[in-house]
Structure 1
Amino acid sequence: MREVFKETTQGKGAKEQLSITDRVVGLIQNYLRNKVQDEPNLEEFLDYLSDFKPDIAESVTTRTVEQLFEKEIKNFKRKDNLEKGNGKKDYVSLNHPEGEKDTNSKLIKLFEFLKAYRSKMEEPVRNISNYEEVVTWCKDLPIGDGCSVLGDDQDSWLIVKKQDIPNPPDPPEEVREWLDGRWDDPFTEPKVRESKVIIEKEIDEEHKEKADKNKVEKFEDDAERVNIWNLWLNKKWIPWSLKAQPKVKIKKLYNKLFLLSQRLEREQEDLELVWGHGMLYWNLNGYLIRHPLLTTRVFIEFDDLHGVIKVSPEMLPTTLEVNFLQGTDPQYVRLFMKMQEQLSQDPINPWDKGTCTEFFTRIVNQLSSEGKVLFDANDLSISTHAVITYEPVIFIRRRKMGYVQDIETILEGLKNGNKVPAPIRSIVEIDDAFDENNSETHSTSSDEILLPLPSNNEQF
């Protein structure tokens, strides 16, 4: 290496000297940050400088590099890496506390912006009716032959079988023309008109012509007709309707799940099917909340051979919802995140009503002094006193990436002065080595630039 640091105080020479010094210091600092397993070695660094930075190596003496290297060593201290417990060391600068503070400040501002942006883009859903679609409430399921919840197949939570609806009985000819509306809807009892107008012809004796004469006939005027109607309604139609009603309900559910499975297949990247348990009703400082606490991602299986649709839980465990509290009081977000972590360590069976009651009670007692669990209640009004019901429900929602929650975790760590991982720190720090490589790789060249189409000087 040759000496180029000449005593000069004018223009370009001073700037060149400062630039070379800063570049060497920057390379030393990057070397020390990455040298986390072994002790820093001057000879190793000099070899690196000669092999990969020959322009700098030729512009500074070995003695100068040695002095800068020793100085930077003193400005760094060894610190145990507590993140992985693998014995690695990390260096923390003692000479530039303002720089560390500036990096932390920049990161806080960056993640505050990202939080505000994502919160605007992902407005939390606090009411279940505002999700993509409520497929069905469990209380509305047509439980019976052909539809079961937690039946013999314990791997599936809901099983729905394809249904054949029996044809409705035909009305007798004597009453057919008296029917008022349809008779093939098992949920609507057919009716007959009370009366109708019959047009008769009569002879006008004076003009020897036939004239129309309207006659009103009541249905009850013919006792035999009334008897035939009652027999058909009570002995045929009502028994048919009682048999057809549950089958029609199951068929509607089957068709809905069938179409839903196709939709989820098309939009699997955007939508998820969720089974919720434990509905929270709460007016939290003006935020009206009606949202399930426990959610389990489920999927639809279709057995085309036997005409059976199953709704089964995915391998992911049941989790405690937190996102609907974003933007409210942070203490409740922290509470739910803590309980969410506990739930991940000790999973809960959402169908175990005893365990759920205990879990819901623990939550509601921390939310409101007058909060309570009304396990079997449904469709409650929202008040300032938190209430939790059971109310299982199946619904569709947009897949959430959890960005806001992750950003808040990072922000909390930054504000508490926790160590910033290198990948996050590198977002706002300038990597001198990268800049050197980048500037050398993409340096301006006077070589001719080739373009596929005719060009002129203004384009450059």
Structure 2
Amino acid sequence: MPNARDNLLNALDYLLHLDALGTAPILTLDEHRLPVFHEHEFQGLPGVETHLTDGTTEVWLQVRRLRAEPPPPPEATLRLWFDLSNDPAKRPTLFERIELGHHQLSTYLTLPDQSGTPPAEPVPERLELRLEDFPQVSERFSRYLEQAWQPWATEEAPKRKAIRLYDRLFSLLQDAEIGGGAEGAIEVAWGVGLALWDHQDSSKQIHYPIISRTVEIQVNEHSMALRVMPTERDPEIHADGFKEIGKNTDLLYTRARSEFADADKTFSPLDRESFEGILRFAAGHLDQQGCYSPDESPDVKDRTLPKPQHHLIVTDTWVIFAHKRSSSFITADVKRLKQEVKWTPKTRQ
């Protein structure tokens, strides 16, 4: 006979069912159709720092605002022989031939390093010059690439990646602020433990962090650096996708609750001790062939994601992602209450 505890759980399940009508569990980050930032995108970039503290405030990520530097200018006459892009990924190459107008040609031919003395005959209105007739151009171009352009490109390329990440994060900050409570408003979360699974029996793919915690992005008004910091909300376990492919997730929730309650430190995606036990348990419990990727890969510095397989892979990498807030303001509270009730020992009725 159902007791009061079971009746309460049934009532909470019904509330969640009503909220979920017409919506399917999210199995992949792409389904949110909102920005996603993976750990490997930040790795080794200038201006990026993790695991900072500001007094008593935790700062999980800081991205400084950097300024792009233009490429070093070549000599004026050499500049005529190629297009110089502002993109360090676009290595310049020489034209096979160029066509100069009267003004350009007059200047070009009177320079000492070209002919030594001004031409005796009148300069034509237009003239085509071929690279093969000017071997000194190729020599000067090679020196320019080696001594000026390549050092600039080597330093500038990672800086440009950091600038693009900064711009994307800043745009996400604006979107989160503008949404403020309206329908379709978004919030930002920091997840750890990417579950990757190409599930054959259901023909479904899972690509989602198992643990996440809501974060906020702030901008330093003086330096304009962006900071990603955790909110006061508790970490969440994402297991609805596993239910969709027929997996029982009750033990995962129980294990997570136990570890979070017993932990000496609060959860942080940058502190392995605060999450590794949960992730390793999830990998083995949800799939007999599942694996926790750090146990399989010897290269701990490789933070790129492995390709999904027909068995579950759980990584130790982190991800920052945006998602829409629930249309119901009480859904998160109901979920937390349900877990509290489930984890509370049964008493005699």
TM-score, normalised by the number of residues in structure 2: 0.72
Match of 2:31 in 1: 130
Q: Is the 8 A contact 2:52 2:58 kept in 1?
A: no
Quote the offset at 1:217 in angstroms. 4.7
1:352 paired with 2:271, answer: yes
Quote the offset at 1:196 in angstroms. 4.4
Unaligned 5+ segments in structure 2 are 103-123, 295-299
Match of 1:388 in 2: 314
For 2:223 and 2:237, the matched residues in 1 are separated by: 36
Q: Is the 8 A contact 2:45 2:161 kept in 1?
A: no
Superposed counterparts of 1:139-178, under 5 Å: 139-141=40-42, 143-151=44-52, 153=54, 155-178=58-81
Q: Is the 8 A contact 2:60 2:270 kept in 1?
A: no
Match of 1:233 in 2: 145
1:380-400 superposed Cα distances (whole Å, 9 cap, x missing partner): 333342111122111100123
Q: Is the 8 A contact 2:256 2:278 kept in 1?
A: no
Quote the offset at 1:317 in angstroms. 3.3
Supply the AA of the counterpart residue of 2:24: E
Q: Is the 8 A contact 2:29 2:36 kept in 1?
A: no
The change in CA–CA distance for 1:199 and 1:306 in structure 2 (over 3 A counts) is closer
Quote the offset at 1:171 in angstroms. 2.5
Quote the offset at 1:283 in angstroms. 4.1
Quote the offset at 1:176 in angstroms. 2.1
Q: Secondary structure at the match of 1:166?
A: coil
The change in CA–CA distance for 1:169 and 1:259 in structure 2 (over 3 A counts) is same
Q: Is the 8 A contact 1:319 1:344 kept in 2?
A: no
Match of 1:309 in 2: 226
Match of 1:455 in 2: none
Supply the AA of the counterpart residue of 2:60: W
Match of 1:188 in 2: 90
Q: Secondary structure at the match of 2:168?
A: helix
Quote the offset at 1:157 in angstroms. 0.9
Q: Secondary structure at the match of 2:248?
A: helix
Quote the offset at 1:127 in angstroms. 0.7
Q: Secondary structure at the match of 1:130?
A: helix
Q: Secondary structure at the match of 1:150?
A: strand
For 1:199 and 1:173, the matched residues in 2 are separated by: 15
Q: Is the 8 A contact 2:35 2:172 kept in 1?
A: no
Match of 1:364 in 2: 283
Quote the offset at 1:351 in angstroms. 1.9
1:378-423 superposed Cα distances (whole Å, 9 cap, x missing partner): 433333421111221111001235749958x98xx9xxxx99xxxx
Find the partner of 2:191 among 276, 280, 303: 276
The change in CA–CA distance for 1:314 and 1:381 in structure 2 (over 3 A counts) is same
Quote the offset at 1:312 in angstroms. 0.8
Identity value in percent: 20
Supply the AA of the counterpart residue of 2:177: E
For 2:4 and 2:248, the matched residues in 1 are separated by: 29
For 1:356 and 1:404, the matched residues in 2 are separated by: 21
- How many equivalent pairs are there? 296
Supply the AA of the counterpart residue of 1:195: R
Supply the AA of the counterpart residue of 2:325: R
Quote the offset at 1:256 in angstroms. 2.0
Supply the AA of the counterpart residue of 1:248: R
The change in CA–CA distance for 1:309 and 1:227 in structure 2 (over 3 A counts) is same
Supply the AA of the counterpart residue of 2:289: E
Quote the offset at 1:184 in angstroms. 1.8
Match of 1:248 in 2: 160
1:323 paired with 2:235, answer: no
Match of 1:339 in 2: 255
Give the CA RMSD over aligned residues. Answer: 3.7
Q: Is the 8 A contact 2:212 2:235 kept in 1?
A: yes
Quote the offset at 1:188 in angstroms. 1.3
For 2:257 and 2:16, the matched residues in 1 are separated by: 22
For 1:371 and 1:365, the matched residues in 2 are separated by: 5
Which structure has the larger Rg?
Answer: 1
TM-score, normalised by the number of residues in structure 1: 0.56
For 2:218 and 2:96, the matched residues in 1 are separated by: 51
Supply the AA of the counterpart residue of 2:305: D
Q: Is the 8 A contact 2:16 2:334 kept in 1?
A: no
Quote the offset at 1:114 in angstroms. 6.1
Q: Is the 8 A contact 1:318 1:349 kept in 2?
A: no
For 1:125 and 1:243, the matched residues in 2 are separated by: 40
Find the partner of 1:221 among 116, 133, 141: 133
Supply the AA of the counterpart residue of 1:397: H
The change in CA–CA distance for 1:220 and 1:335 in structure 2 (over 3 A counts) is farther
Q: Secondary structure at the match of 1:156?
A: strand
Quote the offset at 1:328 in angstroms. 4.0
1:260 paired with 2:260, answer: no
Q: Is the 8 A contact 1:278 1:388 kept in 2?
A: yes
The change in CA–CA distance for 1:304 and 1:118 in structure 2 (over 3 A counts) is same
Q: Is the 8 A contact 2:51 2:61 kept in 1?
A: yes
For 2:260 and 2:94, the matched residues in 1 are separated by: 62
